[in-house]
Amino acid sequence: MSALRENWRIVALVVLLVASATALFVPGVPPGTSADGGTDAGGPEAESASQLTNLNYGIQLSGGTRLRAPIVGITAEGVDVQATEATQLEQTVADELGVDTIDVRVRPISNDRQTGAVEVVIENVTQQELRAALEANGYQPDTVRDGVTRETRQEMVETIDEKLRTSALSGASVQIVNVPGGEHFVSITAPDRDREDLVDILNERGVVKIYAVYPGGENGSYVREEVLQRSQMDDISSANREGIGWAVYITVRQDAADAFAQRMVDAGFDDGASCGNYNHSDIQQTTGDGCLVHTLNGEVVTARGVTPDLGGSFANGEFANDPVYVMQTNGSEQANEIELNLEAGQLPAPLDLSEDSGASLDPALAERFKQNSLLTGLIAVLMVSLVVYVRYQRVEVVVPMVATALSEVFILLGFVAFVQYPLNLSHLAGFIAVIGTGVDDLIIIADEILQQGKVETGRVFQSRFRKAFWVIGAAAATTIMAMSPLMVLPLGDLSGFAIITIVGVLIGVLVTRPAYGDILRNLVLDED
Amino acid sequence: MFEFEVPEVDYTRYSNRQLVAVPLAVLVLSLAVVGGWWVVTGAPVDRGIDFTGGTELTIGSNSTLTNDEIAGTFEEPVVSIQGITTTSDSTYENQYVVTFDNSTDVSAVRSAVQSADGMTLLGSGTTSPLFGAQNQRLAVMGVGVAFVGMSLLAFAFFRTFVPSIAIVISAFSDIMIPLAIMNLLGIQLSLGIVAAFLMLIGYSVDSDILLNNHVLRRSGGFYESTYRAMRTGVTMTLTSIAAMAVMAISATFFGIGLMADIGLILVLGLTADLMNTYMLNVTLLRWYKYEGVNR
C-alpha cells in the first residue's frame, strides 16, 4: 500500500489513462452518443456505427459546410408599447413602411422586458424610416440600431435547428456567436453537406399561408382573408391517401377550431363552394363561389373548393370534433416542403448571406487531411523522441519521457471525446503545441533531477522536483495567460485551439508531468 | 553514435555591448521591415482573406491546367492560383487553390466550377469584409491582451525590473522577427498564424523563465547558473524547433496550409528565441547581476 501512496501521481496518471480509453473507445460513454456507436446526431449515417473512436470531427476533418452570417434587421429600442397595442402597431408600421406585417415585429413591455422594441426584418428599410414611422404614430424610440432583438435571435436558433433536423441534415448544429461590441451572428455547421444544400434550406423563409377567397367586397369583387395561422395549428403531417393524393393534414388547435369554422361560415362556405377556374397569378380573380388558397412564399400552391359536407360541418359545429384541415398539394415533394415549413416555422428574420463567412470541404479531401495531419503529428513525435534520445542517450530517461508526452495527448483526446468537441485542423495544431510544451517541461524535470551526482534520498529528489516545478508552473501560467483571450473571442477555430492547449497544459502540469518525476525517481533510485 | 552536448559558451570573452549588439541589430532591422511595410502598404504585414475578406476555392482535376485555363473559368477576377502537391493516394492528380477578392460572390464561383468540365470543387472558404474586419480587430485584441498578460505575469514572478523587462523584450523580438521574415517571403497573415504567434509567446517565455530562475533564484555563480540553464533551455528549444520543422515540411508536402504556416512561424520564432534568450537576455541579466544590483 505504501508503494501506492508514494507513487500516487503515477496512479492518478493510470486512472486518467483508463478513463480516457473508456471515453475514446467504449461506444455510448460520452453523453450524447448512443451505445451502438457514433453520435445521436449522426443518426442515420451508417458509417458512424463503424467509427473506431468516439471522437467528433469538425468540417475540416470530415467534410461539410459551415456558414456564419448576420441577421437582417433593424430594431428600435425603448419604445413604450404595451401588449394590447402590439398587433395594431405592427400593422401601422408595416403600412407606413410599405412592407408585409410579417417583417415587422413588436416586442411589447412584459415581465421579461422592461422596455418595448419594434424590429423590421427586411432589407432596404433605413433606421431613419423606422424612427419616422414610429414617431408619426406617437412612439418615441430611445435608439434605433442594426440587428434584431434577443428574443428574435433565440427564435432564429430554434427555428434553424428545427429546420436542420426536419430536413435530415444529420449532425448539424446552429448557435449565436456574440462579438464583443454588440454584434451577433448565426453560425451553422452541417457535416456532409454542400454549401448549396444548406443555403437552400436557410434561404427559404418558408412562409405558408392559408387564405379564403370569396365574393364579399364591393360590387361582388372577391376578398382575400387569411383564415388559419401557424399559431392555430397543432399537429402537422403529410400523407398520400386514396382519392385525395398528396396532402398536408393540419390539425387545428381545439381552442381555435370553433373560431375557424365560424370564419368559414361568415365567408359563405357553409354550404360548400366550388372554386371554379382559379387564376393562379392573380389571387383575387376567380369565377367560382369561393376558394381556399394555399401559398408558399407568396406563390399559390393549390386552390380548392369546399365540399358541401365539410361546409355543413363548419355550420353545425361538427368540425370541432375532428378539426383536421386538409391542404392538397401537387405531389410528395411539395407536401414535404410545406410540412417542413409549417413544422419548422419560418425564419423570424432572413440571414444576410451576402455577408457570410464560412467554409465548405469535400469529405474525401477532409478524410485525407485527417490522415495526413495524423501522420504529420506522428512524425513530429518521432522527431522529438530522436532529439531527446540524442541528447540524453539513456533509454530509461527517454522512453518514459516520450510515453508521458503521448499519454498527455491521449488523455486530452479522451477529454475531447467525452465533451464531444468537434476536432478541426487548428485543434491538431493545439495537440502538437501540447506535445511541445509537455516535452519542454519533461526536459526541465529530467535535467533538474539528473544533475550533478546521484539522487541519494527521497528528500533530495523532492527538493529538486519542487525546484523544477516552479519553472514549469510559471511557464504553464504564461501559456494559459497567452491563450486565454482566444478562448473567449469568437475567432472561429482559434477558440478551440486555445481550449485544447489550455486543457492540455493543465492536464500536463497537474497530472502527467509530476508523474514523470515519480517514474524517473523509481528508475533512478533503483539504479543506485 | 552521434551525440550532442550543449556547448559551454565562454561569455566572459564578450562585453555586454558586443553581446547585445547582434540581437538588437536584428530587432531594429525587423522593426524597419515591418514599419516600412506599414508605411508603404498600410498594414504591418500582408493580410490574407481571413482579414481582408475574400473567397478561396480548392479545385481538383485529373488534367494539368494552366493558370489561364483556370482563370478563364470564372467571370470574376482571380487574385491568385496556387498548385498543391498531391500524393499518390489522392483522388485527383492536380489540386489548385484559387483566391478571389472580397467583391466575389462565393455561390457564383462555386457554381462556375461545378459546371466546368474536368474540374471538381473540393472545397471553398469565404470571409466577408465585415467578418474580415472583425477578425482583425479581435486578433489584434487577442494578441495584445495575451502579450500584456504575459508581461504582467513576468513582473509578478520576478518582481525586479531588469529581469522581467528582459523577458518582455525578448518575447517582443521573437514575434517581430518572424513577422518581418513573413513580409520578405510573401506569406500572408492568417488566423492560423495568429495562433502560431500566441504559441510563440508561450514557448519563448519558457526558456526565459528558466534562465532567470537559474540565475536569480539559485545558488552558484552567474556563469555556472547560465550554463546549467542553457543546457536545459537549448535542448528544449531545439526539440521544439525539430518538431515544428518536421511539421512544416510534412504539412507543406500534404498541402495542409494551416499546419505548414504554424510550423514555419514557430521555427522562425524559436530560432530567434535562441538568439534573444542567450545573447540579449543573458546580457541584461549579467549587467543586472554585476552592475545593476549595486546601484
Domain final residue, candidates A358, A381, A407: A358
* Per-residue pLDDT at A240: 82
CATH number at residue A111: 3.30.70.100
Give me the residue label for grid cell 503545441: A433
* Per-residue pLDDT at B167: 93
Asked whether the predicted pLDDT for residue A223 surpasses 90, the reply is: no
* Per-residue pLDDT at B1: 45
With a pLDDT cut of 90, the percent of chain B lying above it is 29
* Per-residue pLDDT at A281: 61
In Å, what is the CA distance from A94 to each residue of A88, A231, A350, A506, B195?
Answer: 10, 20, 17, 56, 47
Burial A393-425 (b: 16+ CB within 10 A, else e): eeeebbebbbebbebbbbbbbbbbbbebbbbbb
Asked if B185 reaches chain A (Cβ–Cβ under 8 Å), the answer is: no
Q: Are residues A314 and A330 part of one domain?
A: yes
Q: Are residues A326 and A235 part of one domain?
A: yes
* Per-residue pLDDT at A455: 59
**Between residues A167 and B111, the one the model is more confident about:** B111
Would you call A195 and B236 a contact, using CB atoms and an 8 Å cutoff?
no
Interstrand relation of A422-423 and A56-57 (parallel, antiparallel or unpaired): parallel
* Per-residue pLDDT at A316: 84
Mutate to test the interface with B, among A195, A481, A500 (most CBs of B within 10 A): A481
Neighbours of B133 (CB within 10 A): 14
Q: Are residues A455 and A368 part of one domain?
A: yes
Q: Are residues A198 and A93 part of one domain?
A: no
Asked whether the predicted pLDDT for residue A287 surpasses 60, the reply is: yes
* Per-residue pLDDT at B211: 92
Q: For the segment B31-59, what is each residue's pLDDT rounded down to a tens digit?
A: 999 999 999 988 888 888 888 888 988 88
Looking at the partner chain, which of A360, A379, A493 has a beta carbon nearest the beta carbon of B246? A379
Q: Are residues A274 and A299 part of one domain?
A: yes
Asked if B86 reaches chain A (Cβ–Cβ under 8 Å), the answer is: no
Asked whether the predicted pLDDT for residue B129 surpasses 60, the reply is: yes
CA–CA distance, A201 with A27 (Å, rounded to integer) = 32
Q: For the segment B249-287, what is each residue's pLDDT rounded down to a tens digit?
A: 988 888 788 888 889 999 999 999 999 999 999 999 999
Ordered strands of the B78-84 beta sheet: A173-179, A183-191, A64-70, A357-361, B120-127, B54-61, B94-100, B78-84
Lowest mean pLDDT among A124-133, A219-228, A482-491, B23-32: A219-228
Q: For the segment A349-394, what is each residue's pLDDT rounded down to a tens digit?
A: 888 888 788 888 888 888 888 888 888 888 888 888 898 898 888 8
Q: Are residues A507 and A403 part of one domain?
A: yes
Asked whether the predicted pLDDT for residue B117 surpasses 60, the reply is: yes
Please compute, for residue B9, the number of CA atoms within 13 A of its CA located in the half-sphere on the CB side: 17
CA–CA distance, A415 with A435 (Å, rounded to integer) = 16
Query: Mean per-residue pLDDT for B208-214?
Result: 91
Asked whether the predicted pLDDT for residue A153 surpasses 80, the reply is: yes
Would you call A437 and B203 a contact, using CB atoms and an 8 Å cutoff?
yes
Query: Mean per-residue pLDDT for B61-71?
Result: 85
CA–CA distance, A433 with B195 (Å, rounded to integer) = 10
CA–CA distance, A465 with A470 (Å, rounded to integer) = 9
How far is C-alpha A468 from the geometric centre of its chain's CA atoms?
Answer: 44
Asked whether the predicted pLDDT for residue B27 surpasses 90, the reply is: yes
* Per-residue pLDDT at B234: 92
Would you call A195 and B124 a contact, using CB atoms and an 8 Å cutoff?
yes
Q: Are residues A505 and A393 part of one domain?
A: yes
* Residue A419: its H or E element: helix A395-419
Fold of B11-48+130-292: Multidrug efflux transporter AcrB transmembrane fold (1.20.1640)
Q: Are residues A297 and A376 part of one domain?
A: no
User: C-alpha cell of B232?
Assistant: 536545459
Domains held by chain A: number:
4
Mutate to test the interface with B, among A60, A376, A464 (most CBs of B within 10 A): A376
Residue A80 pLDDT level (bands cut at 50, 70, 90): confident
Please compute, for residue A14, the number of CA atoms within 13 A of its CA located in the half-sphere on the CB side: 8
Mutate to test the interface with A, among B158, B218, B235, B277 (most CBs of A within 10 A): B235
Residue A452 pLDDT level (bands cut at 50, 70, 90): low
**Between residues A253 and A144, the one the model is more confident about:** A144
Asked if A354 reaches chain B (Cβ–Cβ under 8 Å), the answer is: yes
Domain final residue, candidates A147, A179, A197: A147
Asked if B264 reaches chain A (Cβ–Cβ under 8 Å), the answer is: no
CA–CA distance, B173 with A82 (Å, rounded to integer) = 60
CA–CA distance, A148 with A125 (Å, rounded to integer) = 13
Q: Are residues A162 and A44 part of one domain?
A: no
3-state secondary structure of A36: coil
Asked if A272 reaches chain B (Cβ–Cβ under 8 Å), the answer is: no
Query: Mean per-residue pLDDT for A414-434?
Result: 84
ipTM of the assembly?
A: 0.87
Would you tell me which CATH number, out of the four given (3.30.70.3220, 2.130.10.10, 3.30.450.40, 3.40.50.720), belongs to the domain B54-127?
Answer: 3.30.70.3220
Q: What is the mean pLDDT of chain A?
A: 81
CA–CA distance, A116 with A134 (Å, rounded to integer) = 12
Chain A neighbors of B218, CB-CB under 8 A: 467
With a pLDDT cut of 90, the percent of chain A lying above it is 5
* Per-residue pLDDT at A39: 43
Residue A280 pLDDT level (bands cut at 50, 70, 90): low
* Per-residue pLDDT at A527: 52
Asked if A368 reaches chain B (Cβ–Cβ under 8 Å), the answer is: yes
Q: Are residues A178 and A222 part of one domain?
A: no
* Per-residue pLDDT at A50: 45
Minimal CA separation from A167 to chain B, in Å: 21
Q: Are residues A297 and A402 part of one domain?
A: no
Q: For the segment A11-65, what is each residue's pLDDT rounded down to a tens digit?
A: 889 999 999 998 888 887 777 665 544 444 433 333 344 467 888 888 888 888 8
**Between residues A212 and B173, the one the model is more confident about:** B173
Domain ranges for chain B, please list them: 11-48+130-292, 54-127
Would you call B107 and A199 a contact, using CB atoms and an 8 Å cutoff?
yes
CATH number at residue A286: 3.30.1360.200
CATH number at residue A471: 1.20.1640.10
Show which of residues 29-48 on chain B sit within 8 Å of chain A, judged by CB atoms.
none
Asked whether the predicted pLDDT for residue A195 surpasses 80, the reply is: yes
3-state secondary structure of B203: helix
Asked whether the predicted pLDDT for residue A500 surpasses 60, the reply is: yes
Show which of residues 439-478 on chain A sit within 8 Å of chain B, judged by CB atoms.
439-440, 443-444, 447-448, 451, 467, 470-471, 474-475, 477-478
Nearest CA to B254 out of A358, A426, A370 is that of: A370
CA–CA distance, A108 with B275 (Å, rounded to integer) = 65
Q: Are residues A254 and A313 part of one domain?
A: yes
Q: Taking each helix axis from N to C terminus, what angle separates A127-136 and A86-97, rounded to the nearest 10 degrees?
A: 120
With a pLDDT cut of 70, the percent of chain A lying above it is 89
With a pLDDT cut of 70, the percent of chain B lying above it is 96
CA–CA distance, A347 with A349 (Å, rounded to integer) = 5
Interstrand relation of A183-191 and A173-179 (parallel, antiparallel or unpaired): antiparallel
Asked if B203 reaches chain A (Cβ–Cβ under 8 Å), the answer is: yes
Query: Mean per-residue pLDDT for A90-110?
Result: 85
3-state secondary structure of A309: helix
Give me the residue label for grid cell 423590421: A120
* Per-residue pLDDT at B128: 86
* Per-residue pLDDT at A91: 83
3-state secondary structure of B116: coil
Pairs across A and B, CB distance < 8 A = 242
* Per-residue pLDDT at A215: 80
Give the domain range for residue A7: 2-63+362-527
Asked if A53 reaches chain B (Cβ–Cβ under 8 Å), the answer is: no
Determine the residue type at A92: T
Asked if A363 reaches chain B (Cβ–Cβ under 8 Å), the answer is: no
Looking at the partner chain, which of B153, B209, B239 has a beta carbon nearest the beta carbon of A443? B239
